[in-house]
Amino acid sequence: MKNLTKLFCLLLIITAASCKKKSAIDGKEVLTVCGTKDALENIDWLKAEYSKMASSPTVNGIVVYKYNNKEVIEVQNAAFSSTNQHQYYCDGTKLNLDEPADFNKFRQERKLVGILFGTNIWN
């Protein structure tokens, strides 16, 4: 009985140690972006963009990057004709990536933080 109790305790410890607590929606980790855990609801300009594409997550996406030590939100809509005109800071200020060299630098130096919605269609 003593060995069975030890075995049970060992299994309980292993199980508890292997569990990883993670907040999730639809199996995806919930990201804290721009100081909020619900950026799609709490950031007005982003909420407006999200509402335009919410019904089509397989062909649209909202992706967060870290660039120049700031969070950048890239709105990826399949209807957009360009990929360098839809990057924004948290306050909604658009990045100026009009010049090909600037856009290439952004693509090379950005670090993926995560996907807030849909699919990273422009990866």
Dist. CA 55–CA 48, nearest whole Å = 13
Write down the pTM of the prediction. Answer: 0.76
**Higher-confidence position of 16 and 1:** 1
pLDDT band at 3 (very low <50, low <70, confident <90, very high): low
Question: Is pLDDT above 50 for 35?
Answer: yes
pLDDT band at 14 (very low <50, low <70, confident <90, very high): low
C-alpha separations of 96 from 26, 39, 84, 87, 101 in Å: 33, 22, 9, 8, 11
Element (H, E) at 60: strand 60-67
Residue 31: which residues within 8 A CB-CB, separation 6 or more? 37, 39, 64, 113, 114, 116
Residue 54's pLDDT is 94
Nearest to 111 by CA among 60, 69, 59: 69
What DSSP assignment string belongs to 61-102? EEEEEEETTEEEEEEEETT-S-SSS-EEETTSPBP---SHHH
pLDDT digits (tens, 9 = 90+) for 65-109: 999 999 999 999 999 999 999 999 999 999 999 999 999 999 999
Dist. CA 6–CA 12, nearest whole Å = 10
pLDDT digits (tens, 9 = 90+) for 102-122: 999 999 999 999 999 999 999
What are the beta bridge partners of residue 75? 62
Percent of residues, the chain, with pLDDT higher than 90: 74
**Higher-confidence position of 58 and 15:** 58
